[in-house]
Amino acid sequence: MGARVGPAYAYGSFILSTVLAFVAALAVLIAVHEWGHYQMAVACRVKVLRFSLGFGRVLWSRRLGADGCEFAVCWIPLGGYVRMLDSREASVAPALLSRAFDQRPLWQRSAIVAAGPLANLILAVLLYAGAAIWGTQEPRALLASPPPGSLAHTAGVRAGDTVRAVQEASGEWAAIRSLADFHWHLTRAASQSQDLWVELSELSGSRTRQVKLELSTQSVSDLDAAWLRRIGFSAPFTEPVMGDIRPGGPAEAAGLRAGDRVLRVGPTVIADAAQLREIIRQSGAGGSPVALSWMIERQGQTLDVSVLPRLVKGPQGESMGRIDASVGAPAMQVWVRRDAAEALSYGLDRTREVAVLSVRMMVSMLTGLASLRNLSGPLTIADYAGQTAQKGVYAYLTFLALVSVSLGILNLLPLPMLDGGHLMYHLFEWLSGRPVPPVWLERFQRGGFVLLLMLMSVALFNDVARLLGLH
C-alpha cells in the first residue's frame, strides 16, 4: 500500500529544503569571507590562532598547518571570525612578536581587513559566471499590454512588442536576451535617475522602432515587482487563455473552463492576458465588484458569459477584483547561456553593477529617498534561499552571488564592528601617525553595536511584515 503524500508533508519538505539551502548559503558565504582574512594574514606572516565558522560553543575543531591553527565549527551559524596573534589582547613571546597582527605594517593590517569583503566580491563574480555558463530558461522580452497611464503606455509600448536592445549610459546599444535582462536595465537606469532608450519590434517582427522611457521622472523608493507593474513592465506577453479554475470561485460560477480564450470584455478587445488581469483587478476599484460581460472562444464557438469578480484587498490596502482562476497561457521562453569568456565578463559586469546599485540604495535609504522596507534580514534571505533552491541551479547561484555582493558591501560600511570600521581606524592612524586611543575604540565599539542592533531590528521587522503580507 503506497504512502499518501499530503499538504503537511509537502510543506515540511519545503521547510527542510529552505533550512538546508539557507545553512548552505551561510556556510559558503561566511567561509569565503573568513578565508579571505585568513589567506591574507598568512601571506603577511601573521600567526592565525583560530579560524571559526559560527560563534559560541565549539562543535568540531582540528589543528592544521605548520602553525597549528585551530579550525573550528561553532553552534551559532550567523557569522565567523579569524583570531590572530595580537599583543593588545594577550602577552606575546618575544620570538613571536613580529608575527602579531598589531605589530605588522599598516598597509598589511589594512589588506588583511579588506581581504574578507574582497573575497565575497570575487566569489560573486565566479557565481554569476557559473550561473551564466549553466544557463537557464527565461521569459522572452515580449511585452504585455501596459496599464493605461503607465510609463510604458505613455511611451507607446503595445502588447506583443519585443525588446531588441537598450541604449546604455555610454551611448552604445546592448542586446536584450530575456525579460529578466530588460528588467535589470530598467532597474539600473531608474536607480541612476536616467532615461532609457529602447528598441522594439512588433509581434510580427515586420517593423522596429525606438521609444524613450522617462525613468528620471519616476519615484524609485521601492525598486520591486510592484514598481515594475506600476510603470507597465511587470509581466511577459501571454495569450488571454484561461488556466486552472479554482472550485467555488467567480470563474467557476460564470461557467468558465480551462482553455477558454477571452476575446472581449464589454466593448474592449482583449490583446493579451495582462490586459485582462488589469481589467479584472480594476473591477473592484470602486469598493464593490462590477459584473463583466465576456466574449470567449471555446472549441471554435463564440460564447457570452457574465463574470462577477469578488472583492479583495491589495498589498497597499486598495480594493481590487479577483476571479480565482489562472489567467494567461505560459509565457514564451528562451534559453540564455554564455561561454566561459563571455560568462566571466558578465560576472564582472554584474558584480560591479550590483555593488554600485547596493551602495546607491543604502545611500538612498539613509537620505530618505528610498524606503527602509528594502532592508532584508535572515528570514527573507532564508525564504529566498529556499525558493531559489527549488527553482534550480541557476536561480540558487544567482541568489548566492547577490547575497555575496551585499555581504561584501555591507562589511565595507564605515561602522565599528564591521571591516569598514576597522579600515576607518587605519585611515585615522595613517593620517595622524598614531592609532585610535583605546578609550575611543571602546566607545566606537559600543556605538557600532547599537547601530547594528537597530539595523537588525528594522530588517527583522521587515521580514516579519513580508511573511504576514503587511509589506
> Is 198 part of any domain?
yes
Domain identity same for 220 and 247? no
Domain identity same for 274 and 306? yes
> What's the CATH code of the domain at 223?
2.30.42.10
Q: Position of cell 529566498?
A: 384
Domain identity same for 255 and 227? no
Domain-terminating residue out of 312, 329, 346: 329
> Is 59 part of any domain?
no
Catalytic residues: 34
Domain identity same for 223 and 271? no
Q: What are 199's strand-pairing partners?
A: 165, 210
Domain identity same for 253 and 316? yes
Instruction: Please give the grid coordinates belonging to residue 307.
Output: 463574470
pLDDT at 466 (0 to 100):
61
pLDDT at 18 (0 to 100):
76
pLDDT at 81 (0 to 100):
93
The region, left, alpha or beta by phi > 0 then psi within -120 to 50, assigned to residue 258 is beta
Q: Position of cell 459584473?
A: 291
Instruction: Answer whether 104's CB lies under 8 Å from 426's CB.
Output: no
For residues 303 and 306, give the distance between their C-alpha atoms in angstroms, rounded to a whole number. 10
Domain identity same for 296 and 317? yes
> Is 205 part of any domain?
yes
Which amino acid is residue 12, in one-letter code? G
> Is 204 part of any domain?
yes
pLDDT at 413 (0 to 100):
87
Instruction: Please give the grid coordinates belonging to residue 258.
Output: 480551462
Domain identity same for 216 and 294? no
Question: Between the CA of residue 114 and those of 32, 45, 212, 422, what are the distances in Å?
Answer: 13, 16, 41, 9
Domain identity same for 216 and 252? no
Q: Which residues of the chain have pLDDT under 70?
A: 1-14, 204-205, 219-224, 315, 365-384, 459-471
Domain identity same for 288 and 317? yes
Domain identity same for 247 and 273? yes
- DSSP result, 142-208: BBPPPPTTSHHHHHT--TT-EEEEEE-TTS-EEE--SHHHHHHHHHHHHHTT--EEEEEE-TTSS-E
For 223, the domain range is: 151-231
pLDDT at 79 (0 to 100):
86
For residues 38 and 67, give the distance between their C-alpha atoms in angstroms, rounded to a whole number. 13
For residues 122 and 28, give the distance between their C-alpha atoms in angstroms, rounded to a whole number. 13
Domain-terminating residue out of 310, 329, 348: 329
- Residue 256 phi, psi dihedral angles, 5° rounding: -70, 150
Question: Between the CA of residue 230 and those of 41, 233, 276, 368, what are the distances in Å?
Answer: 50, 8, 16, 21
For residues 434 and 426, give the distance between their C-alpha atoms in angstroms, rounded to a whole number. 9
> Is 62 part of any domain?
no
> Is 77 part of any domain?
no
Q: What is the largest CA-CA distance in the chain?
A: 94
Domain-terminating residue out of 203, 231, 259: 231
> Is 56 part of any domain?
no
Domain count, the chain: 2
Domain identity same for 251 and 295? yes
For residues 459 and 382, give the distance between their C-alpha atoms in angstroms, rounded to a whole number. 13
Instruction: Please give the grid coordinates belonging to residue 370.
Output: 528610498
For residues 130 and 198, give the distance between their C-alpha atoms in angstroms, rounded to a whole number. 29
> Is 88 part of any domain?
no
Could you count the other beta carbons within 10 Å of the beta carbon of residue 185?
A: 20
- DSSP result, 224-237: SHHHHHHHT-SSB-
Domain identity same for 190 and 215? yes
For residues 44 and 104, give the distance between their C-alpha atoms in angstroms, rounded to a whole number. 8
